Structure 1
Amino acid sequence: MDFTGQVALVTGGGSGIGRAACVAFAHHGAAVAVVDREVSAAEETAELVRKADATALALRADVTSSADVQGYVRRTVDEFGRIDCFVNNAGIGGTVAPVAEYDEADFAAVLAVNVTGAFLGLRHVLPRMIARGGGAVVNTASVAGLVATPGASAYVASKHAVIGLTKTAAGEVARQGIRVNAVCPGPVDTGAMRRLEEQIAPDDPDGLTARNRAAQPTGRYSTPEEVANVILFLCSDLASNTTGAQYVVDGGRSATGSATPTRN
């Protein structure tokens, strides 16, 4: 995979899968625009990109704000002249509660970031790609976008919506040379996963971690780097006729039905 001379724009790039994707793009030759709601986190990732001998731009943005999204797209194009790869990755997990008890404000907040944020990214990046005649987009969905996760109604609904956006956009822009795919991680070794386990089992998060890992056919969680590798594949010429697809990275958990997948 060679991204020399290309520009990758990654939202939620300040940590986890987003950070791993930024660093992977850098190691394969791309310049990287790192977007995060915490500018300090974006700067930390940008420094890792520079250590990989690549050019980086750190940007703060609230992905639920159309003005902020237009701003990160404009700044990236002003700095680098183009956007070749867009990793539409920013997302939040929300609270854990049954549907009948789920807080309305929490539900709206999850959909605002995970659905409206993903839509706005597509809304403002795709015209730039159409204008230059091509590009690749990877939306970060989840195995929770394919199967249910009890207690996570907002997250599940949002990630099903991301897959719907992926399929719709893919069909609309395929003839313009733009591919749009989704990556669907299962449990991943990230800070977000640890916080989720502490929320679900505050008295025994280590025990929940052990049980979740044991439920994986591979016996472990995915690493952020493993998910990033799939993202880079989908952005690369190796996936030149792949669009509208959902790539699962969950250690075989959803395929075997061994347990209900946990959010990434």
Structure 2
Amino acid sequence: MPPPRPAAAALAQVGSDAASFDAGGFGRTLLLTAVTVVVVLGVTFAVALRVGKQAVIDVTWGLGFVAIAFTALLTSTGHGDGLRRWLALVLTTLWGLRLAAHIWSRSRGKGEDPRYEAMLARADGDPNAYALMHIYLPQGVIMWFVSLPVQVAMFVEGGLGWVVTAGVVVWAVGLFFESVGDLQLTRFRGEAANSGKVLDTGLWRYTRHPNYFGDACVWTGLFLVAASAWPGVLTILSPAALVWNLYAGTGKKLLEKDIGDRRPAYVDYVRRTSGFFPWPPKPAGRDVQH
């Protein structure tokens, strides 16, 4: 019998990976991670009521993913590739803890975020009930859905290869943009001479949102870690939903509307600087794609 052709061999490998995937165990993990999200956001809501601001949920955003990753690791014991499982956990934890620490440091001692103030001002009845329905519920659903590649990565088998390596590289690029971009902005805001000015140096020279671009890379990288084996590739909608939300949803679009209303100098920065993907700035007087 002649050796199998590459396509046939690939199909055979997919079939083998699918057969080894414990759908029942994965279903239980999905349920338990959903419970984890409810618990994390419930604690966050209690803290928000105590301190008097809903912005504490921004700190929880990163921590929630860490909690999901640990829950998925524990509930998937005995499944998947050991190295992939721990890789997914470590990458998620490093990203989540750094982000939570940064947002906590940035918001410490400050009042409510203007975005949440504007949302709560639209509440017809109890603002806390409105916050639960319009802040906590959407963020909880998005958190759970975006984390699906990490959850799947705990179960898939088939060994590691170049796709996983590419995922780690993309993740590292994303963490670099997030970390360095946040550091540059913190230092810029810490200088009294920069009051009223717009940061347009460093990474902020090439993209108006290095932190959002970095976030997109981090979760694309985690998707690739899961996608190197079946059925990890099916979680493609998770990073796609996150990127869309950052670019056209409540991320970039909402933030820039708030900044543009308060800082006219930002309008010129928008005209010459890429809105998301890093790109050399345009000369004065020429618009860029947003």
The TM tier, using the shorter chain, reads: under 0.3
Q: Normalising by structure 1, what TM-score?
A: 0.28
Larger Rg computed on CA atoms: 2
Q: Normalising by structure 2, what TM-score?
A: 0.26
Between Structure 1 and Structure 2, the one with more strand by share is 1
Between Structure 1 and Structure 2, the one with more helix by share is 2
